[in-house]
Amino acid sequence: MTGQAHGSLALSATLLLCLSGMVSAQWSEDFEVYSDGSVLDGQGSWHGWDGVNTPHARVASQFASLGSQSLIVMAGADSVHEFDGYDSGHWTFRSDVYVPSSFVGKAYMLVMNFYANGGPYQWSVQIGFNGDSGNLECNCGSGTPIMRPLLRDQWTELRCDIDITNDLVEIRYGGFVLGSYPWSAGPFGGGSFGLLQIDAVDLFSDLVNFPHTTELYFDAMELTPFLGSVGTAYCFGDGSGAICPCSNAGAADAGCANSSGFGGRLETFGSLEVPADNVIFNGSQMTPNQPGLLFAGLNAVALGVGTAFGDGLRCAGGSIVRLGVRTANAAGEATWGPGMGAIAGWQAGDTRHFQLWYRDPGAGPCGSGFNLTNGIEIGFQP
């Protein structure tokens, strides 16, 4: 493939098609069914760019996000998986990515809006992993890429929320929003491809411009129906309610500022229906590599404005239930769920208030050693 970038997107994907009024279909790829060390191209509907298979994308057991195997993309890799029928609706395409500390050179992940062996080719998402500069590069609708430091030696989520119906894509890395732009405009902006569909993924290493490129890993890839946000966020540390303990106000929609200068943020995605039990609780902007505790209560503290507690505000109270401890990654992100309803036992008609407590030792603004996110209220339904 020619152009600013072309990639062998060796994507481990789980595809769940579940649109209202349509027949459900499911596709998944976690690399567990292939032999360790085997070449990916030619297996499981994977093939090389333009139908030319290479031996440079292989199943590996050195690292794995799920199970015991992942995909290693080496110099010369260029693998494609095509999709059919994703021409409407709202989807999430995501992958866990492992960038070793030894990674140099450059590799790409592309999400295509049109692919055919021999061309033409068009893509709407271009993500570059630049080991030389140490940055992840997102051409998020602009010729000038948005940069984020590569998170090395750990699995980090790369996520694209793709709204085909409304022609919009939003991209996140490690929980941080890199940007959003019209899907049909392409990654560099200004285009008008007119192809509102998800047609293929491609992973490749750029040997033309970076002949010294080494390997990185992909796992736990999914293409699933988008889970919209649920619940109502409240109790922010931006000064709109209670004053943060040492005037350490954070930004809107988050808690009081922590040692990073940001406030921890809690977001929830999924559905309100109790039988689904699929709510995802995502904490971001927390202290990297520190533990966080998700808890639920019956009440919004102080009528929802919260009270001072540690370096933050206590927003949820009353018959507290602890829902587990997770350690934030290097980006300050951690995730709980699905399945939290089975732990906490809420029923249809119940309202619960959720919040994250997390450690912030050493350089926290108020010196208590811990902080909290905003709160979220969710009313559950049958």
* Residue 3 within any structural domain of the chain: no
114 vs 53: CA distance, rounded Å = 19
CATH number at residue 207: 2.60.120.200
Residue 280 vs residues 72, 191, 226, 275, 284: alpha-carbon distances, Å: 28, 34, 12, 14, 13
Shared-domain flag, residues 196 and 260 = no
Q: What is the pLDDT of residue 27?
A: 66
The tokens describing 87, both together, are: 């021409």
List helix spans (H) across the chain.
340-344
27 contacts: CB under 8 Å, gap ≥ 6: 13, 14, 15, 16, 83, 223
Q: What is the pLDDT of residue 26?
A: 56
* Residue 365 within any structural domain of the chain: yes
Q: Answer for the pair 316, 350: CB distance below 8 angstroms, yes or no.
A: no
Shared-domain flag, residues 251 and 156 = no
Q: What is the DSSP string of 149-190?
A: E--BSSEEEEEEEEETTTTEEEEEETTEEEEEE-GGG-TTSS
Shared-domain flag, residues 209 and 338 = no
Look at residues 161, 167, 171 and name the one whose alpha carbon lies nearest to residue 192: 167
DSSP classification of residue 246: T
Domain around 200: 14-225
206 vs 50: CA distance, rounded Å = 16
250 vs 247: CA distance, rounded Å = 9
Number of helical (H) and strand (E) elements in the chain, helices listed first: 1, 28
21 contacts: CB under 8 Å, gap ≥ 6: none
The SS3 call for residue 126 is strand
The residue from 225, 240, 261 where one domain ends is: 225
Shared-domain flag, residues 73 and 203 = yes
The tokens describing 60, both together, are: 């590996």
The model's pLDDT over 84-122, given as tens digits with 9 standing for 90+, comes to: 889 999 999 999 999 999 999 999 999 999 999 999 999
Please, what's the largest Cα pairwise distance for the chain?
64
* Residue 2 within any structural domain of the chain: no
Q: Answer for the pair 124, 112: CB distance below 8 angstroms, yes or no.
A: yes
Shared-domain flag, residues 215 and 92 = yes
Shared-domain flag, residues 219 and 238 = no
Q: What is the DSSP string of 38-57?
A: -BSTTSTTEEEGGG---S-E
User: Which of the four pLDDT bands, split at 50, 70 and 90, describes residue 22?
Assistant: very low
The SS3 call for residue 307 is strand
Q: Answer for the pair 343, 297: CB distance below 8 angstroms, yes or no.
A: no
If one counts every other C-beta atom within 10 angstroms of the C-beta of residue 303, the result is: 10
* Residue 152 within any structural domain of the chain: yes
276 contacts: CB under 8 Å, gap ≥ 6: 270
Residue 125 vs residues 49, 109, 294: alpha-carbon distances, Å: 17, 8, 33
Look at residues 330, 323, 312, 319 and name the one whose alpha carbon lies nearest to residue 265: 312
Q: What is the pLDDT of residue 60?
A: 97
The model's pLDDT over 306-349, given as tens digits with 9 standing for 90+, comes to: 999 999 999 999 999 999 999 998 889 999 999 999 999 999 99
Predicted structure pTM score: 0.76
The model's pLDDT over 291-315, given as tens digits with 9 standing for 90+, comes to: 999 999 999 999 999 999 999 999 9
92 vs 88: CA distance, rounded Å = 13
Shared-domain flag, residues 219 and 341 = no
Q: Check whether 36 has a pLDDT greater than 70.
A: yes
Shared-domain flag, residues 182 and 246 = no
83 vs 179: CA distance, rounded Å = 24
* Residue 59 within any structural domain of the chain: yes
**Tokens 């199943």 map to which residue?**
59
Shared-domain flag, residues 374 and 287 = yes
* Residue 9 within any structural domain of the chain: no
Shared-domain flag, residues 71 and 214 = yes
CATH number at residue 263: 2.60.40
Count up the domains in the chain and report the number: 2
Query: CA 312, 313, 319, 320: dihedral to nearest 10 degrees?
Result: -30
Shared-domain flag, residues 238 and 205 = no
* Residue 265 within any structural domain of the chain: yes
97 vs 105: CA distance, rounded Å = 16
The residue from 163, 194, 225 where one domain ends is: 225
The model's pLDDT over 257-303, given as tens digits with 9 standing for 90+, comes to: 999 999 999 999 999 999 999 999 999 999 999 999 999 999 999 99
The residue from 198, 225, 252 where one domain ends is: 225
Q: What is the pLDDT of residue 11?
A: 30
* Residue 7 within any structural domain of the chain: no
Shared-domain flag, residues 166 and 69 = yes
